[in-house]
Amino acid sequence: MGVKRFAILAGALLVLLALSVGGLVLEEDDRPSEPELAPETNPPPPPRPNPDAISLRVETGQHVLLLDRPGGKVIKRIGDTTEFGSPQVLSPTGGSSGDWLAVSHTSLGNKGVGWLNPDRAPVSVRARTMRLEIDLSRREVVVRRQDGLVRRFSVAVGAPETPTPPGEYFVTDKLPGPDFGPFYGCCILALSGRQPNLPQGWSGGDRLAIHGSPTPTWGTDVSNGCLHAREADLRYLLKTVPLGAVVTIRA
C-alpha cells in the first residue's frame, strides 16, 4: 500500500511538472514578437558649399599639392605662407569634378588652375562674403557684400602702353606701403594677378595690387598696371576685405 501511494504521488508530480513547463512555453509563445530593426545606414554627406562662396586656407605648417587634373600629376607644391609672409589662400574657380575643386594661385598665372580634393588636403574652408568689382573704363572700384553694394571709389588704372589686365583674381596679401618704398602710400592690397604688359626696364615686379600714390592720380590712366587709390579708401579695404576675396577686373 505504501509503494502504491508513492507511485501515485510521483505520477501526480510528473503531471504537474509537465503542465508547468507547458504553461511556460505557452507564455513564451504568447509574448509579442520584437519589431525588426532597420539596417543601419550612413547619414548622407553634408552638401558641398558653392565654390564661388569659399576660399581655402593652407593650415599652418602644412603644404598642399596641386595637380594638373583630378587624380593627375603634381604641378605645384604650395606652402602655408605667401612670398610676403601672409597666410596662404587658394581660390576655387568654380570648376569641380566629384570631390575635386579647380583652384587658382598666383604661381599658376592669370588663367592657370590646379586641382585638389579639399577633404583630403590640409586646408580650412573660409566663407567669402565680400568681393571687389573694378571697371577699367569707369576707373572705379565697387565693394560688395552678399547683401549688396557697400562702397564705391575712383582709382587710377594702367596707362595705354601698360594696361591693367582684365580677369578674375583674389586678394593674397594686405601690406604696409612704406615697407616697399615711398611710392605705394599707406597700404597695399596685393592681388593674385600678374601684369604681362610691363614697361621695358621695369624691375619692380609684376604682381597686380591696389595701392597708394605720392600724387593724386585717381581717375586717370597713368600706372604700370596697378590701381592707385586714396588713403581713406585703402585703409577701408585693409580693414574690411579679407584674404581670398574675389577681385573681378573688367575692361
Q: Residue 47 — very low, low, confident or very high, per pLDDT cuts 50/70/90? A: low
- Give the rounded percent of residues in the chain with a pLDDT score beyond 90: 73
| Chain segment 90-100, per-residue pLDDT in tens | 999 999 999 99
**pTM of the complete model:** 0.80
Least confident among 45-49, 151-155, 221-225? 45-49
| Strand, coil or helix: 68 | coil
pLDDT band at 27 (very low <50, low <70, confident <90, very high): very low
* For residues 146-164, average pLDDT: 94
pLDDT for 204: 81
pLDDT band at 26 (very low <50, low <70, confident <90, very high): very low
**Burial zone of 153 (CB within 10 Å; 0-12 exposed, 13-18 middle, 19+ buried):** middle
If pLDDT is split at 50, 70 and 90, which confidence band does 32 have? low
What is the maximum span of the chain, computed from C-alpha positions, in angstroms? Answer: 135
- For the segment 43-71, the average pLDDT, to the nearest whole number, is 86
CB 87 within 8 A of CB 57: yes
Q: Give CATH 2.40.440.10 domain extents, the chain.
A: 130-250
Which of 165-174, 198-207, 214-223 is predicted least confidently? 198-207
H/E run at residue 3: helix 2-30
Enumerate the CATH 2.30.30.40 domain ranges in the chain, comma separated: 51-127
Query: Sheet harboring 227-228: ordered strands across?
Result: 148-154, 140-145, 130-135, 246-250, 167-176, 187-194, 207-211, 227-228
pLDDT score of 5 more than 70:
no
The domain made up of 51-127 has a fold known as SH3 type barrels. (2.30.30)
| Better pLDDT: 158 or 5 | 158
Q: Whole-angstrom Cα distance, residue 72 to residue 78? A: 16
**Domain 130-250 sits in CATH 3.40.50.300:** no
Give the pLDDT confidence score for residue 179 in this predicted structure: 95
Residue 241 pLDDT class (50, 70, 90 cuts): very high
- Check: CB of residue 181 under 8 Å from CB of residue 209: no
- Please determine, for residue 10, whether its predicted confidence score (pLDDT) is greater than 60: no
Q: What is the mean pLDDT of the chain?
A: 86
Size (the chain), residues: 251
Res 13: pLDDT: 38
How does pLDDT run across 99-113, given as a tens digit for each residue? 999 999 999 999 999
